C-alpha cells in the first residue's frame, strides 16, 4: 500500500497534509499520534470512506482514488464495534464471503477456521448483544478477515475494551495477520500497544508524519524531541555545546556542569536539548567516578507495579525522573535520601534547541 502526498482538508482544518507512506507486503504497520492528529482521516482515505483532496493511493500497485470501498479489497475494524445486531456471530462472520458469492462449502471452511482462530466456537449462535466487548470485537475482526482481504485496516480496534482483554487481543491480532500472511495498518493512540506489535511505527502530529522507524529505533534513537516524549518517557534539559573531545564524545554545559554524550552530533547550534529515558539513569548510594555523575535528593517515590518511579532534584538545578526495577535496591530508598545518579554517555540524546521552544516542540496538543 502506498500513499503519495495525500492531503485532506475540512474547511480551514488540514486534517492530513502531504502524507507519504510505503507499507511493505506482509508488514504490520502501526500509526500513532495524539488525539486529533489525523489518524482516522488517514485510515478512512485508505479504506475509501473519504476521498482525499490531493494525492494518490495505491494498493497492489493499482491506483485506488475514486474506487469504491467494496472494490478496494480491504478489511477494516473500527473502534466503534459495527456488527449487524440482528445476525448471529456465525452470520456476521460469514457475511463477507457470502456477499462475494463464493460456493457454500468453501465459505463454510473459511468461516469455521476463523471462528476457531478467534476462539468463538461456543458463541456462534449468539447475537452481538449477548457478547462481551472482547467477544464482539473478535467477531468484528473475524468478519474483516472473512472478506478475504490481503490488507487489513484497524482504527483503534481495541480502544473500547478492558486493559486485560486489550493486551491479550493485540497479540492475537498480530499473530493472525502474520500466520495468514496479511498486511495490516493499525491505528492507535496507545504507544505501548504499537511498540509491542508493530514491525514499524509511523508517528504523526498535527496532520503530518513526524518520523517512521522500528519500535526499537524510535525508543533508543528517536530523531525528534516529539517522538522522544511521545514514545515512552524522557527527561529533557537545556544545555550549551562546548566541543567534541578526542574520543568523539560531545561535551555539553548544563547549568555550569560538563556532560558527555557519545551521541553523534549532526547539527551545529550552540543551544541544545539533552534527553535521557528514566530507566537508563543509574541510581546508587555511593559517589561514582563514572562520567556524568550527579548528586541528588529523592523528592518523590511512586510504585508502578513492576518498577519504582522517582523524582530526584540534583545539585545542578535539574529535576530528573528515574525508574528502577522492583528487583533493585530501590525498594529501600526513601524520600529525602541522598543518592548518586549516573547518566550513561550512550543514552544521552542530543537535539538542536527548537525554534518554537522546548515546551511547544514536545506538546501533545496540536497547533494547527
Cβ distance to ligand ADP smaller for residue 40 or 227: 40
Q: Which of 41, 94, 146, 227 binds ligand ADP (CB under 6 A)?
A: 41
Rounded to 5°, angle at Cα 277 from 281 and 335: 55
Cβ distance to ligand ADP smaller for residue 329 or 365: 365
Q: Does 188 bind ligand ADP (CB under 6 A)?
A: no
Cβ distance to ligand ADP smaller for residue 62 or 368: 368
Residue 168 interface partner, choices ligand ADP, Mg ion, none, CB cut-off 5-8 Å depending on type: none
Cβ distance to Mg ion smaller for residue 123 or 189: 189
State the Cα–Cα distance between residues 167 and 159, nearest whole angstrom: 11
How many residues bind ligand ADP (CB under 6 A)? The answer is 11
Q: Does 51 bind ligand ADP (CB under 6 A)?
A: no
The answer to whether the beta carbons of residues 32 and 203 sit under 8 Å apart is yes
The answer to whether the beta carbons of residues 50 and 44 sit under 8 Å apart is yes
* Interface of this chain with ligand ADP, residues 245 to 264, rule: CB under 6 A: none
Residue 28: CB minimum distance to ligand ADP, A = 19
Cβ distance to Mg ion smaller for residue 40 or 229: 40
Q: Which of 23, 32, 37, 93 binds ligand ADP (CB under 6 A)?
A: 37
Residues that bind Mg ion (CB under 5 A): 39-40
Q: Which three cell numbers stand for residue 214?
A: 522500528
Q: How far is CA 149 from the centre of its chain?
A: 24
Cβ distance to ligand ADP smaller for residue 39 or 123: 39
CA-closest candidate to residue 242, choices 261, 215, 216: 261
Strand runs labelled E in the chain = 2-10, 13-22, 28-32, 54-59, 62-63, 74-78, 151-155, 183-188, 200-205, 208-213, 235-244, 250-254, 257-261, 271-276, 282-284, 293-303, 307-314, 319-325, 338-342, 349-352
Residue 40: CB minimum distance to ligand ADP, A = 3
Q: Which of 22, 25, 35, 269 binds ligand ADP (CB under 6 A)?
A: 35
Cβ distance to Mg ion smaller for residue 154 or 351: 154
Q: Does 38 bind ligand ADP (CB under 6 A)?
A: yes
Q: How far is CA 295 from the centre of its chain?
A: 34
Q: Does 39 bind ligand ADP (CB under 6 A)?
A: yes
Residue 40: CB minimum distance to Mg ion, A = 3
State the Cα–Cα distance between residues 25 and 134, nearest whole angstrom: 28
CA-closest candidate to residue 241, choices 359, 168, 149, 350: 350
**Regarding beta strands 338-342 and 282-284, do their DSSP bridges make them parallel or antiparallel, or are they unpaired?**
antiparallel
Residue 154: CB minimum distance to ligand ADP, A = 12
Site residues (vs ligand ADP, CB under 6 A)? 10, 13, 15, 33, 35-41
Amino acid at each position: 500500500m502506498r500513499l503519495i502526498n495525500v492531503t485532506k482538508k475540512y474547511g480551514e482544518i488540514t486534517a492530513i497534509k502531504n502524507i507519504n507512506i510505503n507499507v511493505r507486503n506482509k508488514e504490520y504497520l502501526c500509526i500513532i499520534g495524539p488525539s486529533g492528529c489525523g489518524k482516522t482521516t488517514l485510515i478512512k482515505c485508505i479504506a475509501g470512506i473519504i476521498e482525499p483532496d490531493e494525492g494518490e493511493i495505491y494498493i497492489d500497485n493499482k491506483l485506488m482514488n475514486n474506487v469504491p470501498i467494496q472494490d478496494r479489497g480491504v478489511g477494516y475494524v473500527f473502534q466503534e464495534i459495527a456488527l449487524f445486531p440482528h445476525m448471529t456471530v456465525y452470520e456476521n462472520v460469514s457475511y463477507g464471503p457470502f456477499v462475494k458469492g463464493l460456493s457454500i462449502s468453501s465459505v463454510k471452511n473459511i468461516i469455521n477456521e476463523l471462528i476457531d482462530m478467534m476462539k468463538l466456537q461456543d458463541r456462534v449462535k449468539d447475537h452481538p448483544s449477548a457478547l462481551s466487548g472482547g467477544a464482539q470485537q473478535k467477531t468484528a475482526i473475524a468478519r474483516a478477515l472473512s472478506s478475504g482481504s490481503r490488507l487489513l485496516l484497524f482504527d483503534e480496534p481495541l480502544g473500547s475494551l478492558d486493559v486485560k482483554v486489550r493486551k491479550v487481543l493485540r497479540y492475537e491480532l498480530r499473530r493472525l495477520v502474520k500466520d495468514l500472511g496479511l498486511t495490516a495498518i493499525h491505528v492507535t493512540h496507545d504507544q505501548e500497544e504499537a511498540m509491542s506489535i508493530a514491525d514499524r511505527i509511523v508517528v504523526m502530529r498535527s496532520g503530518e508524519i513526524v518520523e517512521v522507524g522500528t519500535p526499537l529505533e524510535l525508543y533508543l534513537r528517536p530523531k525528534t524531541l516529539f517522538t522522544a516524549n511521545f514514545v515512552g518517557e524522557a527527561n529533557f534539559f537545556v544545555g550549551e555545546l562546548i566541543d567534541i573531545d578526542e574520543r568523539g564524545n560531545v561535551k555539553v554545559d548544563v547549568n555550569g556542569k560538563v556532560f558527555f554524550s557519545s551521541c553523534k552530533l549532526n547539527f551545529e547550534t550552540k543551544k541544545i536539548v539533552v534527553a535521557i529515558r528514566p530507566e537508563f539513569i543509574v541510581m546508587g548510594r555511593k559517589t561514582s567516578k563514572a562520567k556524568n555523575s550527579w548528586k541528588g535528593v529523592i523528592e518523590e517515590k511512586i510504585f508502578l507495579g513492576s518498577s519504582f518511579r522517582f523524582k530526584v532534584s540534583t545539585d545542578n538545578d535539574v529535576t530528573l525522573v528515574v525508574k528502577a526495577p522492583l528487583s533493585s535496591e530501590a525498594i529501600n530508598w526513601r524520600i529525602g535520601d541522598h543518592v548518586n545518579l549516573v547518566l550513561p554517555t550512550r543514552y544521552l540524546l542530543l537535539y538542536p534547541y527548537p525554534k518554537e521552544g522546548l515546551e511547544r516542540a514536545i506538546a501533545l496538543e496540536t497547533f494547527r
